[in-house]
Amino acid sequence: GAVVSQHPSRVICKSGTSVKIECRSLDFQATTMFWYRQFPKQSLMLMATSNEGSKATYEQGVEKDKFLINHASLTLSTLTVTSAHPEDSSFYICSAKRQVEQFFGPGTRLTVL
């Protein structure tokens, strides 16, 4: 149990477009999901905490208007990178909390041209 999927696994987009990434808990319900970002040779950095039915909580330095998070159900959270620019190119990965553990999706590689 505790499987988390993420879609798409890879996306290439033009500068100025928006990209939506989905994170789903497949076999459990998750009130809380998390979005992380990883730049090359760096650790996973928490971007925001997504809570079902309420607004996401963003970490310091993360623009909430640029990284829109929606957690409309207990099994789905979405991250939309709005007006993407090359500096947003990164690896984005989500996790879903179950009890004291976090279970991760496989991540999304975003490349903005």
Partner 1 sequence: ILNVEQSPQSLHVQEGDSTNFTCSFPSSNFYALHWYRWETAKSPEALFVMTLNGDEKKKGRISATLNTKEGYSYLYIKGSQPEDSATYLCASPSNFGNEKLTFGTGTRLTIIP
Residues that bind partner 1 (CB under 8 A): 2, 4, 32, 34, 36, 41-46, 49, 93, 97, 100-107
Smallest distance from the beta carbon of 34 to partner 1, in angstroms?
Answer: 8
Cβ pair 30, 76 in contact under 8 A: no
Closest to partner 1 by CB, 11 vs 44, is 44
CA pair distance 17, 61, nearest whole angstrom: 22
Smallest distance from the beta carbon of 37 to partner 1, in angstroms?
Answer: 11
Smallest distance from the beta carbon of 46 to partner 1, in angstroms?
Answer: 6
Can you name the residues that pair with 11 across neighbouring β-strands? 110
Quote the tokens at residue 106. Answer: 């496989």
Burial class (CB in 10 A: 0-12, 13-18, 19+), 91: middle
